[in-house]
Amino acid sequence: MSKRIMCEVFCTAEDLGMDIFYSDTDSMHLYNEDIPRLAEEFEKRYGRVLIGKNLGQFHSDFAEITKDKQSLAYKSIFCGKKTYIDLLTNDLNEVAFHCRMKGVKQDVIALTANEMFPDSVQCFYDEDKGLMVPQGTYDKDSEFSLMKLYKALYDGQEIGFDLCKSCQPCFEEKFNFSITTKTSFIRKVEVLRSFIFVSNEVIRDKNKTSGKGEAHVVIYNTAMVEFKSCASM
């Protein structure tokens, strides 16, 4: 039933000729200005109200930088399934980041970006807001470490993330049932541009596992988009 509900929204948007930049199991990125027209057509077709917070309804998926100020994507980089970043802004011209990378925790993404690009605007994960927040003086067109990280992935650079640098400890269970604290576990992420749509997913390439304590993730299909205003529903 959940897949049917999603397909109703997707198909309605496609029939109206709307651009859907990225979609996941229960969300999609589309122009904010298209939402009223999508909601109107959806109600005509299915007799239900699309926008809301009740079961079966949709609403903006971007966390608010400031309460009651809607966040919209100004720029996004989609490296592949469950690996993307949105530069968010609002009416107050505040900036924050909504980013995802399957298998890598938020604080590790920020730490790696800041280490790789120390001369860019540094960003840190705000657990209360659920967003990456930049530090210092900046505007939405500044060079941010996080955007540079995802751009490097988009360009095909292999990047290693030490999962044990997270604020949450990492443990290893041994065959003798003892448990030890892991001090390092490198997950290498690489994006390969491909137009083979059957490969449009994050895969673990067993041929590229580089030994104990490391894992290699290969991501296919990429896109980089600049928006006037994009919402996630």
Taking every pair of Cα atoms in the chain, the longest distance, rounded to a whole number of angstroms, is 63
Instruction: Provide the CB-side half-sphere exposure for 3 (13 A, CA).
Output: 0
User: Across the chain, how many H-helices and E-strands are there?
Assistant: 4, 14
* Other CB atoms within 10 A of residue 40 CB: 12
**Predicted local confidence at residue 125, as pLDDT:** 96
Pairing status of strand 214-220 against strand 223-232: unpaired
Give the residue extent of every domain in the chain. Answer: 1-158+221-228
> Cα 16 to chain center, whole Å?
26
pLDDT score recorded for residue 207: 34
- Which pLDDT tens digits describe the chain residue by residue (233 residues)? 778 888 899 999 999 999 888 888 788 899 999 999 999 999 999 999 999 888 888 888 899 999 999 999 999 999 888 899 999 999 999 999 999 998 999 999 999 999 999 999 999 999 999 999 999 999 999 999 999 999 999 988 999 999 999 988 888 888 888 998 888 889 999 887 643 332 223 333 333 333 344 444 444 444 444 454 666 76
Within 10 angstroms of residue 37's Cβ, the number of other Cβ atoms is 14
Q: How far apart are CA 177 and CA 45, in angstroms?
A: 58
* Chain-centroid distance, C-alpha 224: 12
Between CA 176 and CA 184 the distance in angstroms is 21
pTM for the predicted model, two decimal places: 0.81
**Which element (helix H / strand E) includes 5?**
helix 2-15
Question: Which one, of 108, 84, 38, lies nearest residue 224 by Cα?
Answer: 84
Position 233 scores a pLDDT of: 65
pLDDT at 57: 86
pLDDT at residue 220 in the model: 45
Instruction: Let me know: does 52 contact 172? Beta carbons within 8 Å.
Output: no
Kindly state the tokens that stand for 137: 């003086």
